[in-house]
Amino acid sequence: MQKVLILDFGGQYNQLIARRVREQQVYCEVHPHGMTLDEIRRFDPIGLIFTGGPHSVYLPSAPTVDPGVFDLGVPILGICYGCQLMAQLLGGRVTAAQDDSAREYGKTPTAFDTSCALFEGIGGESVTWMSHGDYMAAIPAGFSLAAHSAACPTAAICDEARRFYGVQFHPEVEHTERGRDMLRNFLYGVCHAAGDWTMADYKTQAIEAIRAKVGNGKALLALSGGVDSSVAAALMSEAVGDQLSCVFVDHGLMRKNEGDEVEAAFAHRSLNFIRVNAAERFLARLAGAEEPERKRKIIGEEFVRVFEEVAHQIGAVDYLVQGTIYPDVIESGQGEAAVIKSHHNVGGLPDCVDFKEILEPLRLLFKDEVRELGRELGLPEALVSRQPFPGPGLAIRVIGEVTEEKLALLREADAIFREEMARAGIAADQYFAALTNMRSVGVMGDGRSYDYAVALRSVETRDFMTAAFSRLPWELLDRVSVRIVNEVRGVNRVLYDVTSKPPATVEYE
Ligand code: XMP
């Protein structure tokens, strides 16, 4: 498989660059800029991309790269800081823009020289996204100017002979109108990519690698029914068959019918699927707990205990399988120690169960690639395209103490909301019902009621770090409200949450 190497100089869009490359069926990895020349050679890239970054190349502390990369004969695309760094290392001059007019932030009309391979076929002028306070005052020998804007005569440079290209703007962001085409030109026109990064190929290779690693050993996976663990399970199962055991801890905090649905989705596969019905034990531990962090902690701890018990029962398990994905793995370019999250959605897996090794078969994939792999493995679409569901489950959607009675109310109300959303064909990024801890007075029939209020939450978001509430149609909210108060005994009021994140969070606890 051909590989592009993205050297990370600390820019905020670095993961986006990687996604844009992979979208074009070219495999790439993001590595810290301090990678040695030997490591780069061993990586054997068909092309290099230097990312942007917050520094100024002329300061002594500025992150840099081994200048030997320019002698490898490999094409290079420098973006923003990466472009300035290349210019400086090859003999150009980069300085701070002296007055505000030479700094550029945001959408900028830019003119291109379409004889440059990077800009072939993209038209003479379009909008790019700029974000820079420094600029190239002199470009290195061998380079020519390939784009300019009103404020910046050096918006792009190229040296076709050595196949070095630099852009002052960010081709990876949506605001750069022809950014995708520019990256495509670099990958296919300049690096001669074959477009060999497909999920079908990945599946085959991953299966071979897992078989080679696991041999005759046994592997254990905690299956939550979420996208990542489900895809990891299906992949492992195809690779090692019944050497794999999957433990699904049903903590009783799942949505309506969810435990059975997870079981049904996996029962026919040779997963040694073990469902542990642990609802009673979780609820007993949660009794009296009202504080959100305490609730999370109890659930995390109890999960680990149950998982450990099952692992001991199975015995002699060599490998623990985790659904870690690429965004959790990417190391920072700023020279800090590699931070690799021990990622699990219910509070970490046990240290005290002895495993020879942890397997992370999805650690190279972005979320959308995980979903694609799931489809490739024949998982049902409903499972593959699931919205996120938090590890602590409905416990953080029942505000205050969790009881079986409250869970039952919430399950019904939530199922009605999801059913009506699906019927209306509305695809918000995440939506659910929560049970507030508030009771209020209502009138039902001719009598007084004093019942719970259900809150409906629906959000639009890309990354779940920020979110806007969904503008749902009144008719839909009306229908959901009428159904919930009629069908769910114990609820007499339905509220719609119109708060964004920040200041609110998506979940209630
Ligand atoms: P918040 O509430 O922090 O949620 O705005 C952001 C996203 O993360 C999910 N979430 C969790 N997922 N364990 C998880 O696996 C958790 O403890 C947890 N808390 C929140 C939430 O559903 C949303 O998608």
Mean pLDDT of the chain: 91
Residues touching ligand 1 (Cβ under 6 Å) are 296, 345, 388, 390-392, 430, 464, 501, 505-507
- Locate the ligand 1 atom nearest the alpha carbon of residue 392 and give its number: 17
Question: How do residues 386-411 score in pLDDT, each as one tens digit?
Answer: 898 998 999 999 999 999 999 999 99
The active-site residue, picked from 172, 238, 372, 376, is 172
CA-based nearest residue to 26, from 47, 9, 2: 2
CB 484 within 8 A of CB 492: no
CB 240 within 8 A of CB 210: yes
Percentage of the chain modeled with pLDDT above 90: 74
Element (H, E) at 5: strand 3-8
What's the confidence (pLDDT) of residue 295? 95
- Locate the ligand 1 atom nearest the alpha carbon of residue 508 and give its number: 2
Edge-to-edge strand list for the sheet holding 357-359: 273-277, 244-250, 219-222, 319-321, 357-359
Question: Could you give the CA distance from residue 212 to residue 133 in angstroms, rounded to a whole number?
Answer: 50
What's the confidence (pLDDT) of residue 289? 97
Is residue 335 scored above 90 in pLDDT? no
> What count of other Cβ atoms lies within 10 Å of the Cβ of residue 141?
9
What's the confidence (pLDDT) of residue 262? 87
Is residue 436 scored above 90 in pLDDT? yes
What is the 8-class DSSP label of residue 501? B
80 flagged as catalytic: yes
Q: Give the list of residues 6+ apart from residue 67 with CB closer than 8 angstroms, or none.
A: 89
Radius of gyration in angstroms for the set of CA atoms belonging to the chain, rounded to a whole number: 27
What's the confidence (pLDDT) of residue 351? 56
**What value does the mean pLDDT take over residues 61-74?**
97
What's the confidence (pLDDT) of residue 497? 98
Question: Could you give the CA distance from residue 79 to residue 167 in angstroms, rounded to a whole number?
Answer: 5
What's the confidence (pLDDT) of residue 165? 98
What's the confidence (pLDDT) of residue 342? 32
- Of residues 269 and 54, the one with the higher pLDDT is 54
What's the confidence (pLDDT) of residue 15? 83
404 flagged as catalytic: no
238 flagged as catalytic: no
> What count of other Cβ atoms lies within 10 Å of the Cβ of residue 49?
30
Q: How far is CA 466 from CA 19, 190, 443, 504, 505, in A?
A: 20, 37, 38, 9, 8
Question: How do residues 77-129 score in pLDDT, each as one tens digit?
Answer: 999 999 999 999 999 999 987 766 667 888 899 999 999 999 999 999 999 99
- Of residues 485 and 305, the one with the higher pLDDT is 485
Q: Give the list of residues 6+ apart from residue 355 with CB closer than 8 angstroms, or none.
A: 220, 317, 318, 319, 320
Give burial (CB, 10 Å; 0-12/13-18/19+) of 201: middle
What's the confidence (pLDDT) of residue 16? 87
Confidence of residue 382 (pLDDT cuts 50, 70, 90): confident
What is the 8-class DSSP label of residue 386? P
What structural domains does the chain harbor? 3-190 (3.40.50.880), 199-384 (3.40.50.620), 397-496 (3.30.300.10)
Question: How do residues 439-483 score in pLDDT, each as one tens digit?
Answer: 999 998 889 999 999 999 999 987 777 789 999 999 999 999 999
C-alpha 135 to ligand 1 mean position (Å): 41
Ligand 1 pocket test, candidate residues 295, 429, 506, most atoms within 8 A of CB: 506
Q: Give the list of residues 6+ apart from residue 405 with CB closer than 8 angstroms, or none.
A: 490
Helix then strand then coil, in percent of the chain rounded to 5, is 35, 25, 40
Is residue 417 scored above 70 in pLDDT? yes
Q: Which residues pair with 432 in a beta bridge?
A: 457
Q: Phi/psi of residue 150, each to 5°?
A: -60, -40
**What value does the mean pLDDT take over residues 190-217?**
95
- Locate the ligand 1 atom nearest the alpha carbon of residue 387 and give its number: 24
